[in-house]
Structure 1
Amino acid sequence: MNQEMVSTIAGLLGGLAVFIYGMNLMSEGLQKAAGEKMKKILSVLTKNPLVGMLAGALVTAVLQSSSATTVMVIGFVSAGLMTLPQAISVIFGANIGTTMTAQIIAFSIDDFIWPIVFIGFVLYFFPKKEQLKNIGQTIFAFGLLFVGISTMSSVMKPLAGSAVFVHLIEQVAHIPALGVLVGTLMTLVVQSSSATIAVLQNFASQPMADGVTSMLGLTGAIPILLGDNIGTTITALLASVGQSRKAKRTALAHCVFNITGTFIFIWFVPWYAKFIQFISPKGPEIQVISRQIANAHTCFNITNTLLWLPLIPLMVKIVMTILPESKKDLAEKPLYEPHYLDNNVLQQPEAAIRLATMEMTRITEYVSDMAEKAKQAFLHEDKDAMRQVDQLEDIVDILQDRVTGYLSSLCKTGSLTQNQSARVSGMIRAVSDIERVGDQYMSITNFAKLKSEKEYTFTEQAIKELQEGFEHVRNMLELTVKALHDADTQTARLVVHQQESVEDLERRLSKKHMERLNLGSCSPENTVAYTDVLHDLECIGEYCSDIAEMVLDEDKSQHKVERLQEL
């Protein structure tokens, strides 16, 4: 291998590396700049197919990767937050959104690349205001995209003079199936269709000896483009490994969408190329072919989506037939296993936060179940209820550890905004509070065991008072679950307000117990158990209030960010 070939390969790989780095950096910057708006976009993913498709396109435009969107959707499907038809519509939109990168690349801004990089650098590294830094990061990364493209373009120019290379290009250009295979393999290796399409646009922009005609031509580029669309599905397939059957079906739907579209379009490449040339800017081929490829990419995905959108039920039947239900799928996950957490989604903070919130809600529901069992255990000396509280306590401890680990891993990604970091910090404290509520109910159950062993008895009035305390706190816990699950600030305020009534209740019942002691109607031996259970109930109220405060703090942060963005 001669020096020129080594230099060409090194330049191509280096330019590709800069391009991919710039694209990932731009995705991170866009996510941070979009901030809380991503939460609103994600909230409409589960609506009707048309809205899901539009939301999928918008999310992908922010993430700069259809694979990233598909991986996120797979996580939602696996968690049960989305149905398969809903997920399919979002994937259709993701395939449209991913064409945005090729459209951006098609612009010729060679004279402005370095000023863009410099402006982005200044905004990225010097301002202290986070929103300005995020915008700067996006601009800086945008400039790096074109630095990578420019580098690849410069090292490709000598290839036009290589007879061997020109012969290989001619083979690909005249055998569409070979072009599809080349495009698929390129994307399988690079793991980014946007990157391989950028390479394709650069290759196609290199002139033949006449200085006007493209080495590849649009008819030669389209099959490779179709292959790129197939290759990008491998990321989703890898993300579905180890996931539920529903998640695998979602990844398979992505494959079916691109493969069927390719199979249809491959028969009409010459006519499709003429249509793209008709709707694209006119001029010398090497000057307009990059835009033509971008338009071919966009039109392919829009047309394929329009074909499949009314046929979503058929797509569901296809993937259900290929991957039917199995006994393993029907079996429920063990209670101690997280049902919502997905490490593949950690690079999309808002999606990961949403999944963690759902897992926290699930833990709170177990704690709510502990509340009823602990009450039965203490008031009625129910041995079965005591055993169930023990089991639920172990489950809550395990899940709390898993959620805390998941949120800690999210912090380590370095992709969180200041507001998101504050929210995650609040969630870590909240899940710890949830686990402490479980500890308090475990403490009450331990008193129930002691009460049973020593045959303590309470007066009828004391039992009624304790029942009142249990019911009051149980109602508060149920409201906390609702506030957490729905991000319901009104309910959260109600929980915080009820904390005062729990404190009043504890003081009132303690006073009544002391009055009974003075009258001799209550045994002194019961005092420790009675007052400690009241204290446990008061602590539970405090923890519920803390969790509700987390919901309110998150809402306040949201409004603060929105006001800053308006300014």
Structure 2
Amino acid sequence: MEYTSIIIPFVGGLGMFIYGMQIMAQGLENAAGNRMKSLLEVLTKNKFFGVLLGAFITAVIQSSSATTVMVVGFVNAGIMNLQQAMGVIMGANVGTTVTGWLVSSVEWAKFLSPSTLAPIAIMIGVIIMLTGKRRSAKDIASIVIGFGLLFVGISTMSSAVAPLKESEAFCNIFVRLGHNPFLGILAGAAVTAIIQSSSASVGILQSLAAAGLVPFSAAIYIIMGQNIGTCVTAILSSMGAKKNAKTAALMHLLFNIIGTVIFSVGAILFLKIANPVWGHGMISQTQISLAHTIFNIATTVLLFPASNLIIKLAKVIGRVEDTEVDDSKVHLDDRMLETPTIAIQSVISEIVRMGHIVADSLKVAKEVLFTQDQEQITFLKEEENKVDRLSAGITEYAIKLSGLQISEREHQAVSHMLQVVSDMERISDYCENISEFAETLVEKKVAFSDVGEGHLKEMMDVCTQSYLYSLEAFESNDKESALRTVEKETEADGLEISLRSKHIKRLTNNQCNTEAGIVFLDTLVCMERISDHARNIAEEVLED
């Protein structure tokens, strides 16, 4: 038998299958962008929501490995704890079954035959891509073309291996895998680890099944092994990460190993004792999808109540303890760049977190001139250093994000985010300036007049409200809050002119201390510029 004529088309078909899967996943990811944006909100809820989220994300990006790598990144960044990670990991195993059902649909939905549907799907996708001008049309085109290429790939693989049905040696390999559960599991794990995609590994198995080469018993053990092999990507990704992130990858491995052990015992009892004849029969593509789905759902249901024990076991093996998150560090990880939609939302969440730190500084800055409290002065200086570190880290990450192959709309979103980070950082600078003004008042042993103090508080209230509205506008993408920001900034501009004029009259009439008067004017400038930067943030929202 000429194996070259089998291997080359098979490898080409596999490449087409994986490429089609990636194109379709990218289109689905873009189309589901709005739902993906709610990711971080869902993660703050219970583990069950995490399971649903993991299934959804994996179904969209067509890779449980990629989902788990993102989880490792979230844990390493400190924005997800191990309990939340466990839920997403369990859900990822369920979501990865979607690809298998797409492939097997050629059996239970005859109209989806690759020979007829795939070329039509690719042609329709190309027409949509060439004629569609909106982003949504491009996403739909990617989904349809990817769908077609996926089917062409699986068809090519199935046709390539069809001659192997006549090879007794090749068929005996699968018979041996069926007789020896350990070898079957090892084969599934090895192939999946090499190509680093359980979806693609299942696709290969289905292409062999379509050619009538795979006994039922061998397929069951190989499927179980595939779930172990898919852990390799996350384990490799966790190298060089923090202990918590390594523990998340270890949790994934333990979850799949425990599930495999439990169901391997059940499979051995059934296929070797209860119904050995069934195990010798050839398996179909649909049966592979069904077995894959039952195994993953049953494992999740069975181990969900024991998930905390798996976390504890992973901690013991990984020698890790939960630690408090350092809020001065940027909670972003390069692993999340694998899925730009989620990475963008993660950046937004970090900017919002930084924005709330600036809001806290602004509230203290409103008081420090009048209390002249040393703890508040120190607090503002420390918070400014914290914001500087966050600003630098977020900016660096956003620049990496903008260098990826992302859509024009996403490029604009990153550009808006960079501007917002800059504005927030400048507001923090002005808060620190105000703390320095407080130090000046202490050194000079001077204070504002009652009238001057009242005027400053009025200005500070307006400018603080302006910033808080802008933060709300950015956090919720709320155009109404953005418009309120603009109104407050306009009010602050008029108030600054009015208060400056009144203050100069008081200075002329010797109604206030000159040195305190200088601090008064400098503070007016700082507050007015704070409102300017708040307006900049609001305008970024209005332009979106």
Q: What TM-score range do you get, normalising by the shorter chain? A: 0.7 to 0.9
CA contact (8 A) 2:27 2:142 kept: yes
Q: Which residue of 1 aligns with 2:253?
A: 255
Task: State the SS of the aligned residue for 2:338.
Answer: coil
Could you tell me which amino acid in structure 1 is paired with residue 391 of structure 2?
Q
Moved more, 120-129 or 181-190: 120-129
Whether 2:478 is the aligned partner of 1:511: answer: no
Residue from 171, 175, 181 that aligns with 2:176: 171
Could you tell me which amino acid in structure 2 is paired with residue 426 of structure 1?
H
| TM-score, normalising length: structure 1 | 0.83
Structure 2 vs 1, CA of residues 388 and 350 (structure 1 numbering), >3 Å: closer, same or farther?
A: same
Structure 2 vs 1, CA of residues 249 and 480 (structure 1 numbering), >3 Å: closer, same or farther?
A: farther
Could you tell me which amino acid in structure 1 is paired with residue 135 of structure 2?
E
- The 5 A counterparts of 1:317-336 are 317-326=312-321, 330=323, 333=326, 335=328
After TM superposition, give the deviation of residue 419 of structure 1 in Å: 4.3
Task: State the SS of the aligned residue for 2:393.
Answer: helix
CA contact (8 A) 1:217 1:289 kept: no
Q: Which residue of 1 aligns with 2:452?
A: 462
Could you tell me which amino acid in structure 1 is paired with residue 286 of structure 2?
R
Q: Which residue of 2 aligns with 1:563?
A: none
Moved more, 17-26 or 352-361: 352-361
Deviation by residue 1:272-314 (Cα, 9 ceiling, x = unmatched): 679xx9xx9xxx976x611111111011111112212233333
What 5-or-longer segments of structure 1 have no aligned partner?
Answer: 207-213, 555-567
Residue from 339, 342, 349 that aligns with 1:351: 342
Whether 2:130 is the aligned partner of 1:107: answer: no
Structure 2 vs 1, CA of residues 85 and 523 (structure 1 numbering), >3 Å: closer, same or farther?
A: closer
Residue from 127, 131, 149 that aligns with 2:132: 127
Whether 2:183 is the aligned partner of 1:190: answer: no
CA contact (8 A) 1:191 1:232 kept: yes
CA contact (8 A) 2:54 2:91 kept: yes
Whether 2:10 is the aligned partner of 1:15: answer: no
Structure 2 vs 1, CA of residues 181 and 541 (structure 1 numbering), >3 Å: closer, same or farther?
A: same
Q: Which residue of 1 aligns with 2:353?
A: 362
Could you tell me which amino acid in structure 1 is paired with residue 296 of structure 2?
N
After TM superposition, give the deviation of residue 430 of structure 1 in Å: 0.9
Structure 2 vs 1, CA of residues 332 and 48 (structure 1 numbering), >3 Å: closer, same or farther?
A: closer
Work out the CA distance in 1 between the residues paired with 2:348 and 2:243. 23
Q: Which residue of 2 aligns with 1:541?
A: 531
CA contact (8 A) 1:42 1:55 kept: no
Work out the CA distance in 2 between the residues paired with 1:245 and 1:464. 53
- The 5 A counterparts of 1:88-167 are 88-108=86-106, 109-112=113-116, 113-167=118-172
Structure 2 vs 1, CA of residues 473 and 130 (structure 1 numbering), >3 Å: closer, same or farther?
A: same
Residue from 489, 501, 519 that aligns with 1:499: 489
CA contact (8 A) 2:74 2:332 kept: no
| TM-score, normalising length: structure 2 | 0.86
Moved more, 100-109 or 145-154: 145-154
Work out the CA distance in 1 between the residues paired with 2:95 and 2:42. 16
Whether 2:85 is the aligned partner of 1:87: answer: yes
Deviation by residue 1:332-370 (Cα, 9 ceiling, x = unmatched): 5472x31x2121112323322232122212322343354
After TM superposition, give the deviation of residue 201 of structure 1 in Å: 1.2
What 5-or-longer segments of structure 2 have no aligned partner?
Answer: 107-112
After TM superposition, give the deviation of residue 380 of structure 1 in Å: 6.4
Moved more, 54-63 or 292-301: 54-63
Could you tell me which amino acid in structure 1 is paired with residue 219 of structure 2?
A
CA contact (8 A) 1:182 1:224 kept: yes
- The 5 A counterparts of 1:338-487 are 338=330, 340-371=331-362, 389-416=380-407, 418-445=408-435, 458-485=448-475
Could you tell me which amino acid in structure 2 is paired with residue 110 of structure 1?
P
Task: State the SS of the aligned residue for 2:37.
Answer: helix
Structure 2 vs 1, CA of residues 467 and 413 (structure 1 numbering), >3 Å: closer, same or farther?
A: same
Q: Which residue of 2 aligns with 1:532?
A: 522
Work out the CA distance in 1 between the residues paired with 2:79 and 2:472. 17
Could you tell me which amino acid in structure 1 is paired with residue 493 of structure 2?
E
Work out the CA distance in 2 between the residues paired with 1:452 and 1:482. 35
CA-based RMSD of the aligned residues comes to 3.3
Moved more, 475-484 or 299-308: 475-484
Task: State the SS of the aligned residue for 1:534.
Answer: helix
Residue from 304, 308, 311 that aligns with 1:313: 308
Could you tell me which amino acid in structure 1 is paired with residue 491 of structure 2?
S
Work out the CA distance in 2 between the residues paired with 1:42 and 1:371. 26
After TM superposition, give the deviation of residue 203 of structure 1 in Å: 1.9
Work out the CA distance in 2 between the residues paired with 1:523 and 1:268. 87
Deviation by residue 1:36-55 (Cα, 9 ceiling, x = unmatched): 13224664354344443233
- Alignment coverage as a number of residue pairs: 532
Work out the CA distance in 2 between the residues paired with 1:429 and 1:253. 39
Task: State the SS of the aligned residue for 1:346.
Answer: helix
- The 5 A counterparts of 1:39-50 are 39-40=37-38, 43-50=41-48
After TM superposition, give the deviation of residue 5 of structure 1 in Å: 3.2
Structure 2 vs 1, CA of residues 89 and 380 (structure 1 numbering), >3 Å: closer, same or farther?
A: closer
CA contact (8 A) 1:15 1:149 kept: yes
After TM superposition, give the deviation of residue 401 of structure 1 in Å: 2.4
Could you tell me which amino acid in structure 2 is paired with residue 539 of structure 1?
R
Structure 2 vs 1, CA of residues 533 and 151 (structure 1 numbering), >3 Å: closer, same or farther?
A: same
Work out the CA distance in 2 between the residues paired with 1:402 and 1:451. 34
Could you tell me which amino acid in structure 2 is paired with residue 352 of structure 1?
A
- The 5 A counterparts of 1:206-225 are 206=211, 214-225=212-223
After TM superposition, give the deviation of residue 181 of structure 1 in Å: 0.6
CA contact (8 A) 1:347 1:415 kept: no
Work out the CA distance in 2 between the residues paired with 1:221 and 1:51. 31
CA contact (8 A) 2:70 2:338 kept: no
